[in-house]
């Protein structure tokens, strides 16, 4: 990948004021994560020149590549500070003052390079809600074509699925019998079964899908950048920290960034596009004087545009890891011996197959906490080992974990500046369990997990709850457990929300209110969080945004029937 100015733009580099190197491009994309990689590939399909700036490295070290590429190696990539920002959360008043760790990808591909590879679209009714919240043109029928354009589903093209997109999507190997038992338990408990959770029936127990192609993680860097990195109109600069946006009056004209000990200014002839994610995008807007005026004044930052919604409305999925032991050696702990792990790794490196080619999240469920709810509001991933919220596996004990929690919450958190220094990590508050509604859904999640684990499918394994444990029964006991253990599911979103109200940051074309030639394209623009892992939806947002930015006609809506 390019590590310097691309060939097409070398002639446009010149010395600006105070000897600062100035570069010119048609588009500057800040952030090489899911959205940034998608945009860089799509915008350079035209003749436009594009600069993609990524603060992390463009690739791993030679000895680390397997940690990113091998789907089963999730826990090796996930907490590696080389490739993860590992933002510390603020003490949470509603969670006994605990801090919630906020991982974010720090490498080309962003969080798609270090996440759990779960490929799950938002629910159809999520996008109908987006329209009501001011995201015109983002209904289910209008976003579905972009989900399809992005993916290459192993089952091929259909009304709901794409068959030739950049992102490989497949199901797992189902190589552990506990996956089938989980599905049986869901059926025995009376829940529906979904033959394809990303198709018409987006509710029920289902085989999970993952972004994997040929046994290798299909990160957005691999899917969108690797095939296109040699385009002469694409320049990729890694290890480049953007200090601020350059604003001329009410127009964004470029960026100032720091790389290799040098400050550089780049100019955008057409647009600057923020794609730095739900944490860094609002941070950079505020550092540049776009955000809540009173908050900017705390750090002596001149307010260029008073947008009170910047950094507000942070939404995420709270998660509980309920754990159950079993008395038969049928969990994936059988593969945790060093010799067997070495065999799995060697087989994957030689053939791209075996357990190394899949993650450990091969079954899931989307269900309702209450029959009156319009669509599923509880998301559950089945893990056939005992695992903690930090992805640490508990060895020497056979069992399973149900990673379960609310798919939507009513309380929102925030992202705020820690200082005016762009190298200081911002402050992040999740605000979980701040409303009666949110507490109720999490209590119900525990009940659902217990109900599933008590079914006949698990009884002959003598499944026993070890966390929170059967002694935790009363509402007070459950609430205390929740406040002491609830974690985040790393699906940060909504901090530059799309809409037209007072707290909206971008309009339905993702243009920042009050600033010309500036858009935000990433998970931060979601008006509200989707009832799913967020990576697939972020990919879709960037696919759709690329057509908007280039002035191309939108893909024709897909004629599908809405649930209910």
Residues acting as catalytic residues: 491
- Residue reference for tokens 């979904």: 194
- Residue reference for tokens 């075996």: 354
Q: Between β-strands 487-488 and 251-259, what pairing exists: parallel, antiparallel or unpaired? A: unpaired
Coil vs helix vs strand at 545 = helix
Coil vs helix vs strand at 165 = coil
Q: Is 41 left (phi over 0), alpha (psi -120 to 50) or beta?
A: alpha
Can you say how many angstroms the Cα of residue 503 is from the centroid of all Cα atoms in its chain? 22
Please check whether residue 319 is in contact with residue 101, taking contact to mean a CB–CB distance below 8 angstroms: no
Residue 80's alpha-carbon distances to 103, 105, 218, in angstroms, are 10, 10, 19
Look up residue 563 and give its two tokens.
Answer: 């649930």
Strands (E), 437-509: 464-467, 487-488
Q: In angstroms, rounded to a whole number, what is the distance separating the alpha carbons of residues 151 and 144?
A: 11
Q: In angstroms, rounded to a whole number, what is the distance separating the alpha carbons of residues 176 and 561?
A: 35
Q: Between β-strands 262-274 and 21-30, what pairing exists: parallel, antiparallel or unpaired? A: parallel
Residues 6+ apart with CB under 8 A from 246: 252, 253, 254, 255, 256, 265, 267
Look up residue 313 and give its two tokens.
Answer: 């409305």
Q: In angstroms, rounded to a whole number, what is the distance separating the alpha carbons of residues 12 and 99?
A: 47
Residue 137's alpha-carbon distances to 439, 481, 498, 508, 548, in angstroms, are 33, 42, 11, 7, 11
Q: In angstroms, rounded to a whole number, what is the distance separating the alpha carbons of residues 539 and 39?
A: 9
Q: Which helix (H) or strand (E) holds 259?
A: strand 251-259
Look up residue 132 and give its two tokens.
Answer: 């009501």
Please check whether residue 265 is in contact with residue 21, taking contact to mean a CB–CB distance below 8 angstroms: yes
Residue 105's alpha-carbon distances to 197, 279, 318, 363, 540, in angstroms, are 26, 11, 19, 24, 18
């Amino acid at each position: 990948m390019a590590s310097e100015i691309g060939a097409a733009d070398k002639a446009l580099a010149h010395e600006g004021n105070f000897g600062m190197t100035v570069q010119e491009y048609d588009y500057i994309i800040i952030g090489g994560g899911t959205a940034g990689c998608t945009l860089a590939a799509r915008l350079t399909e035209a003749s436009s020149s594009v600069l993609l700036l990524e603060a992390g490295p463009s690739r791993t070290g030679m000895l680390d590549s397997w940690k990113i590429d091998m789907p089963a190696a999730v826990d090796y990539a996930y907490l590696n500070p080389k490739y993860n920002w590992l933002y510390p959360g603020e003490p949470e008043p509603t969670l006994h003052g605990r801090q919630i760790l906020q991982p974010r990808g720090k490498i080309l591909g962003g969080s798609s390079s270090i996440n759990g590879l779960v490929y799950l679209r938002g629910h159809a009714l999520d996008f109908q809600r987006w329209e009501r919240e001011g995201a015109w043109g983002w209904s289910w029928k209008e976003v579905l074509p972009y989900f399809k354009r992005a993916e290459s589903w192993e089952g091929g093209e259909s009304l709901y699925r794409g068959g030739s997109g950049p992102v490989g999507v497949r199901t797992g190997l189902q190589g552990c019998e506990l996956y089938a038992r989980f599905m049986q338990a869901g059926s025995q408990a009376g829940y529906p079964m979904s033959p394809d959770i990303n198709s018409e029936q987006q509710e029920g127990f289902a085989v999970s899908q993952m972004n994997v192609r040929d046994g290798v993680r299909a990160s957005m860097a691999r899917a969108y950048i690797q095939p296109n990195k040699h385009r002469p109109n694409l320049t990729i600069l890694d290890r480049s920290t953007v200090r601020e946006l350059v604003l001329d009056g009410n127009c964004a004209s470029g960026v100032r960034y720091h790389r290799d000990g040098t400050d550089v200014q780049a100019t955008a002839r057409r647009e600057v596009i923020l794609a730095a994610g739900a944490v860094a995008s609002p941070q950079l807007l505020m550092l540049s004087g776009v955000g809540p005026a009173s908050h900017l004044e705390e750090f002596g930052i001149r307010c260029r545009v008073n947008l009170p919604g910047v950094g507000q409305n942070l939404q995420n999925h709270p998660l509980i890891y309920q754990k159950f032991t079993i008395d038969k050696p049928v969990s994936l702990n059988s593969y945790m011996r060093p010799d067997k792990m070495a065999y799995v790794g060697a087989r994957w490196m030689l053939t791209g197959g075996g357990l190394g080619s899949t993650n450990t999240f091969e079954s899931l469920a989307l269900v309702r906490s209450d029959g009156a709810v319009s669509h599923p509001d509880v998301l559950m991933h089945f893990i056939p080992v005992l695992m903690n919220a930090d992805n640490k596996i508990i060895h020497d004990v056979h069992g399973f974990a149900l990673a379960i929690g609310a798919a939507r919450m009513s309380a929102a958190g925030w992202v705020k500046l820690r200082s005016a220094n762009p190298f200081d990590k911002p402050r992040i508050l999740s605000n979980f369990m701040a409303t009666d509604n949110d507490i109720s859904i999490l209590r119900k999640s525990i009940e659902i997990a217990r109900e599933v684990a008590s079914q006949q499918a698990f009884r002959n394994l003598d499944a026993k709850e070890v966390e929170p444990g059967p002694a935790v029964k009363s509402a007070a006991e459950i609430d205390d457990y929740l406040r002491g253990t609830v974690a985040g599911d790393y699906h940060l979103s909504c901090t530059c929300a799309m809409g037209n109200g007072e707290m909206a940051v971008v309009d339905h074309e993702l243009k920042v209110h009050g600033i010309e030639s500036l858009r935000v394209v990433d998970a931060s623009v979601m008006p509200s969080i989707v009832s799913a892992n967020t990576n697939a939806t972020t990919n879709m947002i960037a696919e759709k945004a690329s057509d908007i930015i280039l002035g191309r006609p939108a893909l024709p809506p897909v004629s599908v029937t809405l649930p209910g």
